[in-house]
Amino acid sequence: EIVLTQSPGTLSLSPGETATLSCRASQSVSSSYLAWYQQKPGQAPRLLIYGASSRATGIPDRFSGSGSGTDFTLTISRLEPEDSAVYYCQQYGSSPRTFGQGTKLEIK
């Protein structure tokens, strides 16, 4: 099973700044089959990024994904208050498909 470790656990930034969230896999993620989701309190997750770097429909270009192999990054530029959420990475290249434990992003 591929274990995904996200860091930091919590990130506190101000509006307008850039957030860098990390997702490290215990084994190489095949074909960069990695997705990122955003989850706000009381809501279902929302797909942001798939294939490590492709934005899902309707996702603003402030959100970008990068990486390959075992190291992946979600970058959120020009932070806005509504970006406050927990962000999860997920690998879907190997069975069982697994999620990271999440990074909580707080906007001051």
For residue 35, state whether it binds another protein (rule: CB under 8 A). yes
- Residue 21, interface with another protein (CB under 8 A)? no
- 5 pairs with which residues across the strands? 24
> Do 6 and 29 touch, CB atoms closer than 8 A?
no
77 or 92, CB closer to another protein? 92
What's the CA gap between 45 and 30, in Å, rounded? 23
Residue 19, CA atoms < 13 Å, CB-side half-sphere: 31
Q: Closest distance between another protein and the C-beta of residue 14, in Å?
A: 26
- Contact between 98 and another protein per CB under 8 A: yes
Report the site for another protein in 44-63 (rule: CB under 8 A): 44-47, 50, 56-57
CB of 69 to another protein, least distance (A): 18
Given the structure tokens 């603003």, which residue do they identify? 60
Cβ neighbours of 1 (radius 10 Å): 10
By beta-carbon proximity to another protein, the closer residue of 83 and 100 is 100
CA dihedral 65, 69, 84, 20 (to 10 degrees): -80
Q: Interface with another protein by CB under 8 A: which residues?
A: 33, 35, 37, 44-47, 50, 56-57, 88, 90, 92, 96-102
